[in-house]
């Protein structure tokens, strides 16, 4: 079991994780790069899903996307496929 899943399981079982700026930053980075899902990120930093959603929206305001949009990717749509 990975560390993320183990901590999420412990969170579900009632173990409380102390919220620290380091844990929140790790959870935000993991959400940004899609290596954690929302419940796992919330459990990682000891927040509720609602709290992590609110703080992640703020995180997104100040962090630019890490991908490049080109003409090829901009013109794709599900209807064309």
Asked if 50 and 76 count as a contact pair (C-beta separation under 8 A), the reply is no
Q: Check whether 79 has a pLDDT greater than 70.
A: no
Asked if 9 and 1 count as a contact pair (C-beta separation under 8 A), the reply is yes
How does pLDDT run across 21-76, given as a tens digit for each residue? 999 999 999 999 889 999 889 988 888 899 999 999 999 999 887 766 666 655 65
* pTM (predicted TM-score): 0.68
Q: How much is the pLDDT for 64?
A: 81
- Calculate mean pLDDT across residues 3-32: 82
Which is more confident, 53 or 4? 53
Asked if 36 and 4 count as a contact pair (C-beta separation under 8 A), the reply is yes
Asked if 49 and 63 count as a contact pair (C-beta separation under 8 A), the reply is no
DSSP 2-64: -HHHHHHHHHHTTPPPPP-HHHHHHHHHHHHTTSS-HHHHHHHHT--HHHHHHHHHHHHHTS-
């Amino acid at each position: 079991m990975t560390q993320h899943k183990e901590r999420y399981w412990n969170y579900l079982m009632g173990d409380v994780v102390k919220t620290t700026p380091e844990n929140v930053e790790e959870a935000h980075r993991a959400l940004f790069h899609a290596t954690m899902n929302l419940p796992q990120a919330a459990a990682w930093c000891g927040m509720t899903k609602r709290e992590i959603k609110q703080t992640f929206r703020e995180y997104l305001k100040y962090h630019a996307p890490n991908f490049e949009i080109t003409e090829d990717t901009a013109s794709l749509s599900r209807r064309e496929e």
